[in-house]
Chains A and B, each alone.
Chain A
């Protein structure tokens, strides 16, 4: 695989937006723009590691209060119940909705954790220029991209319930600060995965590219 030539070796650079291929020499440093559509040209996403790490760390920092703070308040006939994500899952399970509990658990706990782990793995392994399971790592990246927004499920649930359940004293659902942090987590992880350039996976050590 690595035997195949890279665009840089051939003196080429492609536009990410319109697909225009341009010739480029090593001397061309600095900011380049597509001659056709005017978009910025770059061989790899700029500062991918730094951005990805920064956003990932920020997301993780947000994930802690998102789990500690309650995300939703359910008030029913004056019986006020504040639930964190995990307590909500437990309550769903105990109250006889194991299916729902599993869904919420997957969307709110498994997926974010998976994203942290996957992105972390990708970042570290790519940085080290590892040759290990490059194809699988690419698939992992695609998976992360795919499932990223499903984590917003929890936020949507809270938002929907808050809007729908407004029966004053009888029944009331209110969002609590936890849901904001959780939303931030999801958004930040999505940005992080966007900042990551999957081509970095293929920039192995033996390649003299980077």
Chain B
């Protein structure tokens, strides 16, 4: 159709005009809309900016480290810089819009790093992913921009159901933040924090007991340090008492109600308790406030250690806190001053009654006057041996039957309890007496005399050996001969024996005839006078008595 005329060019085909060139401007408009939407979105998403200060920025990275709450990312670290005085780092965090509420007072921030302790391992995920900033929200709604980051993660997150309690102890022991709290060997809580008391006299712990187990803590609950192994040797043998292996290694706290009737009111949140060193101490009656007493011993106190018990009639109600030496220039003696803390309330009812009595009498209820009364009745302190093997001493307050005279000043501070030599000292004295008496025994002369005596005995024995014994030998020889003769004489075939047999036969016969005679005389008593009559003619052998007549020779 086009090549019919080589010389002329073909004409183009006409088409309908389509003019939509303006449509192309939709593309940049669309692009602008998209760009604008991004900007608006970013602006809408942008939350508050906060600054957190930390001791170190270890593990934190600008533009990378996330801020997480319950493992949900709520923000990101934007910038890290040093504070002006270079003492800490300031971390600028851009929070998400949805996390606005985290920019309020009371929110806590801390860096989550892997922590490996005896109690367990935490933050393992951060080993690979790097550290992140953990957050925990508070109750406040006051906006805040600057925060001080925690160096140690808080053990309790906000709003966790449960109760926290305050424990007071003498020392930290092997407890740490996160140490478990056991109730009947089930972990029900953990140690949240600890700090030294302001006066430095103890350590205050905060523990958190998770709900619902917090209801087992009541006003009379006793807490004790369950760390380590408790070995006790009692009347029922050796007892080894521990909580769990983890508690042995990492420490822990246990609590339980004391036996017997007690107050069962659930303890209020934040209630304060004493943390005892072990279960036995925890379960003992409450100690009450201690009183310091002093005792002055005029004897060696080898084996008396600080911490040794003070017992009143066998009840442990205190402990020795100091053992010091004094010098008395007048007597040239070295008395030893023993200081002890006693807990009179451990005596229970006795203490209460004494108090009541003191009040009745009108005395002030001060301990000193009560002690004065007791001392007047013979109360003395003695250092006694608690263990014969180790020689450990303890202080015993006892009523002695014949106490040595002692002066007591109730107004002296600290209270001074008169002492008496201990029973072991007495024993030692008696032993010394015995030894002294034994010393007086003239062992030398006794020995000498004994020696002489023995020499005499020796001579005597020689005499006996040399003279008496041969004679005795002869005598024995003769005796044997005599016995042989006697034997011969008494043998069955000896004439003596035969004679004796004959004689016995004779005697038998004699006796028989004598019997005939007596029988005859029995029948014929007249024969004694008239002599024997002629025998009557035998009629019949009626009587046996006639028989011997014939046999009579």
Q: Do A and B come from one complex?
A: yes
User: A: which residues have CB within 8 A of B?
Assistant: 12-13, 20-24, 28, 30-36, 38, 40-41, 46-47, 50-51, 54-55, 57-59, 61-62, 64-65, 69, 77-82, 184, 188
Q: Nearest-CB distance from A36 to chain B (Å)?
A: 6
Which residues, 369 to 421 on B, are CB-close (under 8 Å) to A? Answer: none
Q: Nearest-CB distance from A30 to chain B (Å)?
A: 4
Q: What CA separation (Å) do A82 and B63 show in the bound complex?
A: 9
B24 touches A47 (CB 8 A): yes
Neighbouring B residues of A40 by C-beta, 8 Å:
15
A50 touches B12 (CB 8 A): no
A22 touches B10 (CB 8 A): yes
Q: What CA separation (Å) do A58 and B38 show in the bound complex?
A: 15
B25 touches A50 (CB 8 A): yes
Flag whether B1 is at the interface (Cβ < 8 A). Answer: yes
Q: In this complex, what residue of A is CB-closest to B1?
A: A35
Which residues, 5 to 40 on B, are CB-close (under 8 Å) to A? Answer: 8-18, 21-22, 24-25, 27-28, 30-32, 34-35, 38
Q: Known contacts A47-B24, A54-B24; is A22 also within 8 Å of B128 by CB?
A: no
Q: Which of A41, A59, A61, A78 contacts B12 (CB 8 A)?
A: A41
Q: In this complex, what residue of B is CB-closest to A29?
A: B17
Neighbouring A residues of B18 by C-beta, 8 Å:
31
A22 touches B11 (CB 8 A): yes
Q: In this complex, what residue of A is CB-closest to B8?
A: A23
B129 touches A38 (CB 8 A): no
Q: What CA separation (Å) do A38 and B64 show in the bound complex?
A: 59
Main secondary structure of the interface of A (DSSP, over half): mixed
Q: Known contacts A31-B17, A78-B125, A79-B130; is A55 also within 8 Å of B8 by CB?
A: no
Task: Rank and list the top 3 A-B pairs by shortest CB-CB distance, nearest first.
Answer: A78-B129, A47-B21, A58-B31
Q: Known contacts A62-B34, A62-B35; is A38 also within 8 Å of B13 by CB?
A: yes
Neighbouring B residues of A50 by C-beta, 8 Å:
21-22, 24-25
For B8, B13, B38, B125, which residue has the most chain A Cβ atoms within 10 angstroms?
B13
A32 touches B14 (CB 8 A): yes
B129 touches A79 (CB 8 A): yes
Q: Known contacts A77-B128, A81-B64; is A32 also within 8 Å of B21 by CB?
A: no
For B15, B27, B32, B34, which residue has the most chain A Cβ atoms within 10 angstroms?
B27
Q: Nearest-CB distance from B36 to chain A (Å)?
A: 9
Q: What CA separation (Å) do A32 and B125 show in the bound complex?
A: 69
Which residues, 272 to 315 on B, are CB-close (under 8 Å) to A? Answer: none
Q: Nearest-CB distance from A120 to chain B (Å)?
A: 14
A-B contacts, CB under 8 A, total: 100
Q: Known contacts A41-B12, A81-B64; is A55 also within 8 Å of B1 by CB?
A: no
B124-155 toward A: CB 8 Å interface, digit per residue (1/0)?
01001110000000000000000000000000
Q: Nearest-CB distance from B25 to chain A (Å)?
A: 5
Q: What CA separation (Å) do A34 and B15 show in the bound complex?
A: 10
Q: Which of A30, A35, A47, A54 contacts B11 (CB 8 A)?
A: A35
B15 touches A32 (CB 8 A): yes
Q: What CA separation (Å) do A13 and B11 show in the bound complex?
A: 9
Q: Nearest-CB distance from B73 to chain A (Å)?
A: 10
Q: What CA separation (Å) do A38 and B13 show in the bound complex?
A: 8
Q: Which of B12, B16, B130 contacts A28 (CB 8 A)?
A: B12
Neighbouring A residues of B16 by C-beta, 8 Å:
30-31
Flag whether B2 is at the interface (Cβ < 8 A). Answer: yes
Q: In this complex, what residue of B is CB-closest to A40?
A: B15
A35 touches B2 (CB 8 A): yes
Neighbouring A residues of B32 by C-beta, 8 Å:
58, 61
Neighbouring B residues of A41 by C-beta, 8 Å:
12
Q: Which of B21, B22, B128 contacts A78 (CB 8 A)?
A: B128
Neighbouring B residues of A12 by C-beta, 8 Å:
9
A51 touches B10 (CB 8 A): no
B21 touches A34 (CB 8 A): no
Q: In this complex, what residue of A is CB-closest to B37?
A: A65
B76-91 toward A: CB 8 Å interface, digit per residue (1/0)?
0000000000000000
Q: In this complex, what residue of A is CB-closest to B126?
A: A78
Neighbouring B residues of A64 by C-beta, 8 Å:
35
Q: What CA separation (Å) do A21 and B2 show in the bound complex?
A: 10
B13 touches A33 (CB 8 A): yes
A-B contact pairs, 20 of them (CB 8 A): A20-B2, A22-B11, A22-B12, A23-B9, A23-B11, A28-B14, A30-B17, A31-B15, A31-B17, A32-B13, A32-B15, A35-B13, A38-B13, A47-B21, A47-B24, A51-B24, A54-B28, A61-B35, A65-B35, A80-B64
Neighbouring A residues of B10 by C-beta, 8 Å:
20, 22-23, 35-36
A80 touches B14 (CB 8 A): no
Neighbouring B residues of A36 by C-beta, 8 Å:
2, 10
Q: What CA separation (Å) do A54 and B23 show in the bound complex?
A: 10
Q: Known contacts A34-B13, A79-B130; is A54 also within 8 Å of B2 by CB?
A: no
Neighbouring B residues of A35 by C-beta, 8 Å:
1-2, 10-13
For B8, B17, B22, B24, which residue has the most chain A Cβ atoms within 10 angstroms?
B24
B129 touches A30 (CB 8 A): no
Q: What CA separation (Å) do A173 and B22 show in the bound complex?
A: 41
Q: Which of B15, B31, B128 contacts A79 (CB 8 A)?
A: B128
Q: Which of B17, B21, B24, B129 contacts A55 (CB 8 A)?
A: B24
Given contacts A21-B9, A54-B24, A188-B27, 4 further A-B contacts (CB under 8 A): A22-B12, A69-B38, A78-B129, A80-B129
Q: Nearest-CB distance from A75 to chain B (Å)?
A: 9
Neighbouring B residues of A13 by C-beta, 8 Å:
12
For A24, A34, A54, which residue has the most chain B Cβ atoms within 10 angstroms?
A54
Neighbouring A residues of B22 by C-beta, 8 Å:
50
Q: Known contacts A22-B9, A79-B130; is A46 also within 8 Å of B35 by CB?
A: no
